[in-house]
Structure 1
Amino acid sequence: MNELHYLFNPRSIAVIGASDKPASIGARTLENLFDHSRYDGSIYLVSATRSELRGQRCYASIVDVPQTPDVAIVVIPAQSAVQVLQECAEKGVKFAVVLSSGFGEAGEQGQRLEAQIKQISAQSGMRIYGPNCPGACNINARLGMTFSPSFPHDLRPGPLGIATQGGGLGRNLMQAMERGIGVALWSSSGNEADLQVADFIDYMADAPDIKVILTLVEGIKDGAKFVAALQKAARNGKPVVALKVGRSEYGQRAAASHTASITGAAEVNSAALKQLGVIEVDDIDELIDVGWLLNRHMPDGRSDIAIYCSSGGAAALTADIVGQRGVRLTEFAPATVERLAALLPGYAAIGNPVDTTTAVLSNEQLMDSTLLAVCSDPGVALVLLPVTIDYGTTTEKMAQAVSRVQKESPVPILPIWMSDRNGKAFSMYAEDGIVPAKSIGKAVKAVRRWMDYGKWRTQTHPQHWKPWPTLGRAAPQGATPLSLSEGNAKSWLAENGLPVPRSALATSAQEAVREAAAIGFPVVAKVSSATLTHKSDIGGVFVNLRDAGAVHEAWNTIMENVHRHAPGAKVDGLLIEEMLPAGGVEVLIGVSRDPVFGHVITFGLGGIYVEVFKDVTRRLLPLQREEATAMLGEIRSSALLEGVRGGPSADVAALIDVLMKVSDFVGRHADAIDEIDLNPVWVGPKGEGAYVLDAVIVGRQSDDEAARR
């Protein structure tokens, strides 16, 4: 049983701050529990001023309550709440739902109070929900531990679990019930003094009555916990649809001021969510559209759809938007075409999209047979059905036909209600669970997300995900920063199986000439220094040195350049390195430690492709081989790896091996590594391998290790 079971299904509840003052938080909480919930457990009322409420005895303190409740709902001012929470902990209460505000969101004094309740939770083991939250709503159990006056109006049960931080947007999601959306549970974590969105996703991943999880996240306080919850959902086959606030600078500032959470780098957040199978969306309505479509039918990886419509203009517009979104229209099987041709008038369009004309509006049986024929085509994964106008009874009969066909159809039918007039037919769709999208664009966007998730499901195996030593963990404290010279960095990489060119460190011009001769001309000469990371910018790199004289001259010139541009730099000498053949492709591989998710790997083509076009893709570490393979195809300039204008394709297999070896290297030395910059990595034509040409490693070492150096 999940540890939060008795939070959402308590056997007994205490309300601390119970009241009958009209419109007060205490009174509204009692109304929702007594008048609008169907709760058969014990409810204890605690009030410092009343001896009786609603015909029940009031206790002066939680200490006086005869039974230890599973949940204490706290609705008293923040200043008094700390002492009350301490008493709850001493009483043995499992969960405290703190509806009160005036904590971390209310300045320094509130932050001190919140720190105290965090300490109470940590020391006692009592879990705290909130503070500064609207409470919890278990709709399937008809239990509202909330002060919201909307609770009695938002009671359509269903299979969606909703986990949010904010209350207003969470209630907005709940009110999608008006469209026919059924919700099992809503948790709104508020300031997250203890329990976080991640805890609720973890619970929903186990809950048998929840099929799809929707989450709206402003910030992530514990990356490791968040990742673990998403991994559990993926392993349990439950889709998670997420709207992450903080994707722009404005959003990051607003989210921080609202919840004081870490919003993180938007690019890393999106990469992490995608890797973990989370469907990231752009807006509230999209969150609902995608979540309900996933609830209706789990995608199987197929990516072709059909359009069925009685309006030629709407059919053409829908097809146009489908094409713009990168969704494909299937080519019907011959049997489907024959069936439609036999049933529809000769002037109807029987390809894809299907324009039935108005013939089906006066003939329900014709709509049943032709729509089912389209749904049954072997190449169709979903059918879009634009409804342009509310025709009253005609549209109602159409909705009835769609509902009949949906019961027999092997694929989902998604109506698109294009009119601003929500007639009875709209409600008929909703009551049958066939919730319409509100525009063509929104419908097609939801379908694209749905299909992308189906592709992820067929290509990814969450059960095989490796554990990772620092996934979502902050960098270790008390360590000494460490920056390696290129030579030392490459030696460390080579020890861990990464391919680097042959090289040697020279501390004099004469030694540079000897090492070059031993390696074999031509060679590359680079200044070796742990403090100079951009060596080319100061004239610290010479390439294609073909004889001893060129090497000697390079020594003198490089040393002069360094003295002129970086006079205080500590220089070890010159790194003399094998010159790789002409041709090949240069790529970038980088690793950084994200404050939320831990180590992240970045891949892209080098040069202008990174600096100008920002053409990169990212993954959390560790990498799976299929993820490394997918990264190569995700950058916009991936065609350069395949060979252009008759040129040879790059050694993609060797490049994937390098990505995997970088992942393994970081895994073995995770605490010691903060950043890796391998730029460029040279990838030769197929069969010639891939080599790290330049390497920067920034990390940390323990104080004991620093003392030994």
Structure 2
Amino acid sequence: MSGFSDLAPLFDPRSVVLVGASERAASVGGRTLANIVDHSDFRGTLHLVNATRPEVRGLACHRRVADLPSAPELAVIAVPAAGVMEALRECAAIGVKICVILTSGFGETGEEGRAVETEMKALAQSTGMRLYGPNCPGVTNINKRLGFTFSPAFKDDLRPGPIGLATQGGGLGRNLMQAMERGAGFALWCSTGNEVDLQVADFIHYMAGAPDVQVIGTILEGIKDGPRFLAAARAAAEAGKPVVALKVGRSEYGMKAAASHTASLTGSAEVNSAAFRQMGIIEVDDVDELVDVASLLARGRPQRGARIAVFGSSGGACALAADMVGQAGIVLAGFAPETTATLAEKLPSFAALGNPVDTTTVTLTNPSVIEETLAAVANDPAVSLVMLPMPLDYGPVSLTVAERMAAAQRLSPVPLVPVWMSERTGAAYRHFAEAEMVPIRSLRNAAKAFRRFIDRGEWEPGAMPRGMGAGPPGPTRTLSEAEGKAMLRSSGLVVPEGRIARSDTEAVEIAAELGFPVAVKIASADILHKSDIGGVVLGLRTAEAVRAAFEAVREAARRHEPAARIDGALVERMAPSGGQEILLSVSRDPVLGQVMTCGLGGIHVELLRDVSRRLLPVDAAEAGRMLRELRGFPLLQGLRGAAPCDLEALCAAMAAVSALVEARPEGIEEIEINPLRVGAAGEGAWVLDTVVTLREKDAGPCG
């Protein structure tokens, strides 16, 4: 997918017009003007528009955009809602490339406001002028010190750095920015507001190509255009830039709040999380964790098999840190002999020289040893990160320790991460911040951030999804089991041989041709859960049993589903016994498109919800990764002497289902195979039951 515009005129324009410039310091137009003139390093041409004043703050004003002598690259709109459309039309008429609409009072207010947003979108589509907002705080380029924003905090939040931010909420975005207080540095921040045109995806895509951005952070309340978001995430992955995402709306309460805030689709939380994992996006649970993880990634890139060290002067804090590390599933590094020798030479005999390293209070009385010992640990070939538990503030003594640790960071190839555990944040804490070591505020948070960092190093990029089949729901038709199985058989899946019988005599004849034992199932596209009503009889070994089963399933259908259309009964050869039953499905997420779900059958799915998900496409390699994510995967490997399952056949079946949907993504609404029985190695995988639902326009004859 393409269609992304060049957003350079938004982040570094050569000329700007502020529409609604004001003398009133507290107004949107007044604050925006102050940020541009007083607090930015803007060296381009600035035009001002004010309908009633010839000048503002001694700067000449035009009455209308149409009066400008030339077309600025960027327009910042700060007029009341009633005047926004006129300003936008005039901007489009003279050739403005991008408009930032600070004004609120549109889609967030109701139907009338949404109607105006529809006009805005139509204007953007017809003219090619891009719109950012409305109802947004503007754009901030910290690395170039440019603030086209009304935020009074702009002048205070100016620590440059490698992290780019794209958020849908202004308040949470500014919260992230103010992590500058603990040393985090940011390149850009965009808060997209109502997203009438430009979306978070556009800014992620821009940052993927921006040389001064190394890590991308985002807070999402909803995704309006799934394929566009996936294309942006794919660009970031191809550029090797990690994306750290906080998705609001993972609970029912959060979904309702997010919908009312941005009117974006929140989508399925499970599908969103699956898509994030697939794209290498690191999903976090809160804003502080987003800062922790993004800052770690900005300071160092994880490699496979990452190990960590713990280094401190408090035995209790080191022990607690090790406990948190262990609970997070992180591995402590084993030191090389050279590292241990250096520690033994520099530290007292009663210090703990393993990992964690407990230097004891010698670092307080003789802080000069910190630099060499900590640098030795950090340079150990097995160490990828070093955690520095700081349980308390000793004032000047702690400051000296912080200074030595910051000096050790300059000798270290890996991030040294202070964990500031005290409620008192004094000079030592500020020194860590100024050294851009970004202290984390608890051991629990540190262990969680380290886990995310390490997981990123283990991520294996596979086939990148493109959001195939995304879109609103439409009319559908469910195929009969026989039709659905015919479709799957033609796509290469193994399906027991079977035919529809219209009478008990025909059922006996079919059973004899297939060979006993057989299964008899009610044939009706109107009855999806046949076994629940007694519509399935298995393991039939005689003609008499088949005849009785034919009548039994028809009677069960008449009793439980009297309105259902009955085609007869499906007589099938029984699949081999044994093996494991798998649930395999593909369904359509309206935002992100076709998604595959797999899990072990029975209680693993119904009670434990032990499933794995991927957006399509899924090939055999990706299918194997899905299966290894299941908690029940050891059952497929052969637990306690049981024969291992035919994983090769299972992965091939999953890839075949994906290929079937890929060939007609707009036509297939859902495929559920429940169960897919996988036998022992070499025995294959069999489709025992399936429900296939097509979009009505694609629901012609199958097979």
Q: Normalization by structure 1: what TM-score?
A: 0.96
1:460 aligns with 2:457: no
1:231 aligns with 2:226: no
Deviation at 1:287, TM superposition (A): 0.5
1:219 aligns with 2:222: yes
Q: When the two structures are aligned, how many residues end up with a matched partner?
A: 700
Contact 2:278 2:461 in 1 (8 A): no
1:502 aligns with 2:497: yes
1:633 aligns with 2:628: yes
Contact 1:224 1:472 in 2 (8 A): no
State the match for 1:471 in structure 2.
Answer: 468
Q: Aligned partners of 1:417, 1:581: CA distance in 2, in Å?
A: 60
1:253 aligns with 2:256: yes
The equivalences for 1:38-53 within 5 A come to 38-53=41-56
Deviation at 1:225, TM superposition (A): 0.5
State the match for 2:93 in structure 1.
Answer: 90
Structure 1, unaligned runs of 5 or more: none
Deviation at 1:539, TM superposition (A): 1.0
State the AA in 2 paired with 1:541. Answer: V
State the AA in 1 paired with 2:468. Answer: L
Contact 1:650 1:685 in 2 (8 A): yes
Contact 1:472 1:596 in 2 (8 A): no
Deviation at 1:472, TM superposition (A): 6.3
State the match for 1:582 in structure 2.
Answer: 577
Q: Aligned partners of 2:252, 2:553: CA distance in 1, in Å?
A: 42
State the AA in 2 paired with 1:177. Answer: M
1:122 aligns with 2:122: no
State the match for 2:476 in structure 1.
Answer: 481
1:378 aligns with 2:381: yes
Greater displacement, 158-167 / 632-641: 632-641
Deviation at 1:475, TM superposition (A): 5.1
1:284 to 287, 290, 294: 287
1:26 to 1, 24, 29: 29
SS in 1 for 2:555: helix
Q: Aligned partners of 1:358, 1:47: CA distance in 2, in Å?
A: 66
Contact 1:414 1:434 in 2 (8 A): yes
Q: Aligned partners of 2:658, 2:336: CA distance in 1, in Å?
A: 46
1:439 aligns with 2:434: no
Structure 2, unaligned runs of 5 or more: none
Q: Normalization by structure 2: what TM-score?
A: 0.97
State the AA in 2 paired with 1:543. Answer: L
State the match for 1:594 in structure 2.
Answer: 589
1:666 aligns with 2:661: yes
1:299 aligns with 2:302: yes
SS in 1 for 2:158: coil
Deviation at 1:303, TM superposition (A): 3.0
State the AA in 1 paired with 2:223. Answer: I
State the AA in 1 paired with 2:425. Answer: N
Contact 1:227 1:472 in 2 (8 A): no
Flag as ranges the 4+ runs of structure 1 deviating above 4 A. 705-709
The equivalences for 1:267-282 within 5 A come to 267-282=270-285
Contact 2:138 2:191 in 1 (8 A): yes
CA offsets, 1:554-602, max 9 Å, x none?
1111111111111221111211112122211001001110011000000
Deviation at 1:708, TM superposition (A): 12
Deviation at 1:520, TM superposition (A): 1.4
State the AA in 2 paired with 1:697. Answer: V
State the match for 1:419 in structure 2.
Answer: 422
State the AA in 1 paired with 2:134. Answer: P
1:367 to 370, 386, 394: 370
| Compared CA separation, residues 707 and 341, structure 1 to 2 (3 A) | closer
SS in 2 for 1:441: helix
Overall identity of the aligned pairs, in %: 53
State the match for 1:541 in structure 2.
Answer: 536
State the match for 1:197 in structure 2.
Answer: 200
SS in 1 for 2:666: helix
| TM-align CA RMSD | 1.7
Deviation at 1:92, TM superposition (A): 1.0
1:655 aligns with 2:656: no
| Compared CA separation, residues 472 and 89, structure 1 to 2 (3 A) | farther
Greater displacement, 481-490 / 371-380: 371-380
Q: Aligned partners of 1:146, 1:250: CA distance in 2, in Å?
A: 31
Q: Aligned partners of 2:667, 2:5: CA distance in 1, in Å?
A: 35
Greater displacement, 188-197 / 417-426: 417-426
1:332 to 328, 331, 335: 335
1:683 aligns with 2:684: no
Q: Aligned partners of 1:306, 1:538: CA distance in 2, in Å?
A: 59
State the match for 2:506 in structure 1.
Answer: 511
CA offsets, 1:149-171, max 9 Å, x none?
11111111111100011111111
State the AA in 2 paired with 1:646. Answer: G
Q: Aligned partners of 1:644, 1:290: CA distance in 2, in Å?
A: 37
Q: Aligned partners of 2:599, 2:625: CA distance in 1, in Å?
A: 12
SS in 1 for 2:640: coil
CA offsets, 1:442-498, max 9 Å, x none?
111110000001110xx225xxx3665x52631586xx5221011110101111111
Q: Aligned partners of 1:263, 1:708: CA distance in 2, in Å?
A: 34
Contact 1:224 1:471 in 2 (8 A): yes
Deviation at 1:397, TM superposition (A): 2.0
CA offsets, 1:274-311, max 9 Å, x none?
11100000000000010000000000122321111111
State the AA in 1 paired with 2:437. Answer: I
CA offsets, 1:66-99, max 9 Å, x none?
0101111111111111111111111111111110
State the match for 2:641 in structure 1.
Answer: 646
The equivalences for 1:135-214 within 5 A come to 135-214=138-217
Deviation at 1:376, TM superposition (A): 2.4
State the AA in 1 paired with 2:71. Answer: T
Contact 1:343 1:366 in 2 (8 A): yes
CA offsets, 1:414-453, max 9 Å, x none?
1111111111121211222211111111111110000001
Contact 1:181 1:435 in 2 (8 A): yes
Q: Aligned partners of 1:585, 1:476: CA distance in 2, in Å?
A: 34
Contact 1:678 1:696 in 2 (8 A): yes
SS in 1 for 2:520: strand
State the AA in 1 paired with 2:524. Answer: S
Deviation at 1:707, TM superposition (A): 11
Deviation at 1:354, TM superposition (A): 1.1
Contact 1:220 1:262 in 2 (8 A): yes
Q: Aligned partners of 2:284, 2:85: CA distance in 1, in Å?
A: 38
State the AA in 2 paired with 1:371. Answer: L
The equivalences for 1:557-568 within 5 A come to 557-568=552-563
1:527 to 522, 525, 531: 522
Contact 1:223 1:472 in 2 (8 A): no
| Compared CA separation, residues 654 and 510, structure 1 to 2 (3 A) | same
1:702 aligns with 2:693: no
SS in 1 for 2:161: coil
Q: Aligned partners of 2:47, 2:338: CA distance in 1, in Å?
A: 67
State the AA in 2 paired with 1:520. Answer: G
Q: Aligned partners of 2:31, 2:464: CA distance in 1, in Å?
A: 48
